[in-house]
Amino acid sequence: MATPSQFLKFVDDNADRFIKRLGEAVAIPSVSGDGKYRPEVFRMSAWLDGQLQSLGVTTKLVDLGKHVMDDQELPLPPAILGRIGDDPKKKTVLIYGHYDVQPAQKSDGWDTEPFTLVVDEKTGKLIGRGSTDDKGPILGWLNVLEAHKTLGLELPVNLRFCFEGMEENGSEGLDDLIKTEVTKGKESWFDGVDCVCISDNYWLNSRTPCLTYGLRGLVYFKLTISGPARDLHSGVFGRMVHEPMTDLITIMGKLVTPDGTILVPGVEDMVPSAQDDEIAIYEKLDYSVKDVEDAVGAPITLSQDKVSVIMGRMRLPSLSLHGIEGAFYGPGAKTVIPASVSGKFSIRIVPPQTPEAIEPLVKKYVEQEFAKLNSKNKLKIENLHDGRPWLADHRHWNYEAAIRATEAVYKRSPDLTREGGSIPVTLTFAESLGVNVLLLPMGRGDDGAHSTNEKIDRSNFIEGSKLLGTYLYEVGAIKA
Amino acid sequence: MATPSQFLKFVDDNADRFIKRLGEAVAIPSVSGDGKYRPEVFRMSAWLDGQLQSLGVTTKLVDLGKHVMDDQELPLPPAILGRIGDDPKKKTVLIYGHYDVQPAQKSDGWDTEPFTLVVDEKTGKLIGRGSTDDKGPILGWLNVLEAHKTLGLELPVNLRFCFEGMEENGSEGLDDLIKTEVTKGKESWFDGVDCVCISDNYWLNSRTPCLTYGLRGLVYFKLTISGPARDLHSGVFGRMVHEPMTDLITIMGKLVTPDGTILVPGVEDMVPSAQDDEIAIYEKLDYSVKDVEDAVGAPITLSQDKVSVIMGRMRLPSLSLHGIEGAFYGPGAKTVIPASVSGKFSIRIVPPQTPEAIEPLVKKYVEQEFAKLNSKNKLKIENLHDGRPWLADHRHWNYEAAIRATEAVYKRSPDLTREGGSIPVTLTFAESLGVNVLLLPMGRGDDGAHSTNEKIDRSNFIEGSKLLGTYLYEVGAIKA
């Protein structure tokens, strides 16, 4: 089933109006991580629900209950479930997206008001909070729906939607919703779903579209050393007592080497070496050491070899030391011996590693190293949160469809990538529904999703809308 | 010249009124470290100046100029210079104290309002910010002056005063004032001073009075490692780049061992071993491992041997790791790779160590250790501030006078102690005036000078006032 040219033309002809609608969405500051914006997140859910309904989608707002944030009980924004099409002869595609955004204030360093979409005619950038993460992609789907409704075109697949309003704040309630929903059989909004498409990540660079088939998992540790009952003055007590900071820093200094090697015994050994066909994928990627240097703003890659650097992110575990809670952190000089300090570090994990396998290795090692110190202080190590890694079969028809759609719209093959971070809902969909999940990014690697001056390029928004529609046609063309 | 019994009786008879005056002083929240209280620091200077004048002291408020704090230009509170008595046959004693206090809010954990002096009749505690640090001792001198004025008694010595209002905030301007003042010869307010008495420290414990003849110095370092141009997401960049935190923690882990040994080559070697007569002083001190454990609230001393523990504070250098600026410090889990992190650590130094000798050793060692890491990040190490150690001759007549005064008032010999912290003005007086300086504490080791529920015991305030007066008589009795 070829993508109808009227659809592609409609997207081009209505580009300015689509951008105006993106402006409406950006103007609602649906910040999920700050309690005072919670009403705006609800307003955003109502706006999105209205759009979906007006485009023929049957929807249901699912109340996810309440949660406590900053000592305040707040209602969780609803998940929006949607359905359009029920043709048993068609494939059914589940679309995920989120309508909440990261916090943003002009004083953070934005050049423009973050909740006003600014169209930079010269560069083609559409600048505003949520433009690329994740309102742009959600509105891409609205654009596809509107084109078909207005043109009277039949959709090539049945669509299901799951949009949430808490992604930037831990996706609270979503896992339970999905797991509960799948148990409902024929009553389930996810009944009959053949594949999932998530558009909530980015190209590796600013040039080449990509499809993402893997994500690292994570285990986040809090290592606490406590000694005195209260903070002490280093003049009075320095060299009289075991100082928690000394113990903590000594142990944290034994977790990872400056070249990135994880020193916790057993962690590195779990990961099999890359085979030739996998290495071939990395070699082909349109991503260079220079791209990494540009992205981080300094020539600090662990290696000058492209494949080594890429593998560090995509298929090796990493251990990062994030900081210390309880120690002196301000500017200036304070001569404190902190009473209790908690080192925060996390390990990004890759298949076949699991949190269940990694956690005991880390705990055992840290406890052994602490015992060597002969300190009278107390040690505590906790797993603050974790998530398993995810790896999809990139030879699945879902990926083949996305590859063909990319080639049709962008006239080039997409890169096949694994991401170093995690999008936990990916794994939940994959495991709960037992179907292939595809990450199909709309924006570019330099969009600054969680940063100041977040943008999506006009061409990514418009061509990306065509890509989403074309992908549906390619899925629709798959033989059952 | 024996201390007149009328003086001692006057102090006892007027104790309640003296405590009421201490309440007036505590009620002025002269917090020097918080800009919004600056007018209160000025109000306190006016109050103290008025008291001194009414007791016959000639005073001069010295404008110390302005300084910038928290991006705000503020006037520095004046130093109060005072003089009473000009008899060339008498010794001249210079008294130092400070009328500013540490910040305090009830919400910090105070049981009572910090700026209302609460008299606990049951325990004899006088509770309030500044009660012991340093308004109690200053008012002890006022009590001595008032007794003599009211009784028509001649003071046994000439007195000079130097009171400042910025001690809790770096004593800004005071060093310059002292150094300038001593150059004025006969015009100097410090002309003819024979010795200095500072009452701004504490007994070692809550039982035995002490005299303090030594202080450690300090060199405070800021070790910065910078890499990326901005904070990075550990999912995206973990194991692609050299992480500044990994480098920093690796180096900080090589500065000091958990048993307190400083690993910077050369630092420990500089300090001579203690001789028998010095060890004898430590053995005699009324201070036990249990006292340290009680003070810090946990059994975490580096040794169970009393003399070892005491020497750790009084005559050995110490290295404390205070914290990290620029890393994640909040509660919870944040998966950041901080772009630039600054480790703060300081070395308390003892004679013959000097900042000039220590600083290059530390810088060389840190640079060598960093070079071993083969990191592409950047290193910077700065000395944020420093101060030399101080050691006085405790066989000087100034100390002999204080020992006899203590024996007369408290019926026991004082402990001779060295403190682990620093009181920079001590060294400035010792070097600028070239005379013996005595630290004669009024309060106890458990007064909580910089903590919540700061107190001075009624008996320390009242017997301490007698001690100050008796000390003057003992100095007056010294043969020229």
A71 has a chain B CB within 8 A of its CB: no
For range B311-330, the mean pLDDT? 96
pLDDT in tens, B172-223: 999 999 999 999 999 999 999 999 999 999 999 999 999 999 999 999 999 9
B151 has a chain A CB within 8 A of its CB: no
Residue B480: is its pLDDT beyond 70?
Answer: no
Please report the pLDDT score of residue B451 as a whole number.
86
Find, in chain A, the residue whose alpha carbon is nearest to that of B308.
Answer: A240
Number of A to B CB contacts under 8 A, please give it. Answer: 284
State percent of chain A over pLDDT 90.
92
Compute the distance between CA of residue B444 and CA of residue B439 in angstroms, rounded to an integer: 14
Per-domain residue ranges of chain B: 5-215+390-476, 217-271+316-387
Mutation pick from A133, A242, A249 vs chain B, by most beta carbons of B within 10 Å, is: A249
The overall average pLDDT reported for chain B is 96
Could you report the predicted ipTM of this complex, rounded to two decimals? 0.89
Confirm or reject CATH 3.40.630.10 for domain B5-215+390-476, answering yes or no.
Answer: yes
Q: How confident is the model at residue A1 (pLDDT cuts 50, 70, 90)?
A: low
Please report the pLDDT score of residue B19 as a whole number.
98
Confirm or reject CATH 3.50.50.60 for domain A217-271+316-387, answering yes or no.
Answer: no
Q: How confident is the model at residue A450 (pLDDT cuts 50, 70, 90)?
A: confident
Weakest-pLDDT range from A61-65, A438-442, B31-35, B360-364 = B31-35
CB-CB under 8 Å, B346 with A336: no
| B133 marked among binding-site residues | yes
B334 has a chain A CB within 8 A of its CB: yes
Closest CA of chain A from B97, distance in Å: 20
Q: How confident is the model at residue B424 (pLDDT cuts 50, 70, 90)?
A: confident
How far is CA A347 from each of CA A261, A322, A326, A471, B250, rounded to the nearest angstrom? Answer: 11, 11, 22, 35, 17
For range B91-102, the mean pLDDT? 97
A334 has a chain B CB within 8 A of its CB: yes
A243 has a chain B CB within 8 A of its CB: yes
Please report the pLDDT score of residue B70 as a whole number.
79
pLDDT in tens, B132-170: 999 999 999 999 999 999 999 999 999 999 999 999 988
CB-CB under 8 Å, A317 with B220: no
Please report the pLDDT score of residue A75 as a whole number.
97
pLDDT in tens, B345-386: 999 999 999 999 999 999 999 999 999 999 999 999 999 989
| B75 closest CA partner among B86, B60, B61, B64 | B64
Q: How confident is the model at residue A70 (pLDDT cuts 50, 70, 90)?
A: confident
Residues of A identified as active-site = 100, 167
Residue B1: is its pLDDT beyond 70?
Answer: no
**Which residue among B222, B239, B313 sits closest to A240, beta carbon to beta carbon?**
B313
Compute the distance between CA of residue A280 and CA of residue A307 in angstroms, rounded to an integer: 9
pLDDT in tens, A206-226: 999 999 999 999 999 999 999
Stretch 210-229 of chain A: residues touching chain B, C-beta under 8 Å: 216, 218, 220, 222, 227-229
Compute the distance between CA of residue A471 and CA of residue B445 in angstroms, rounded to an integer: 75
A316 has a chain B CB within 8 A of its CB: yes
Stretch 391-410 of chain B: residues touching chain A, C-beta under 8 Å: none
Find, in chain B, the residue whose alpha carbon is nearest to that of A302.
Answer: B241
CB-CB under 8 Å, B317 with A421: no
B338 has a chain A CB within 8 A of its CB: yes
Please report the pLDDT score of residue B333 as a whole number.
87
CB-CB under 8 Å, B333 with A220: yes
Mutation pick from A240, A292, A336, A375 vs chain B, by most beta carbons of B within 10 Å, is: A240
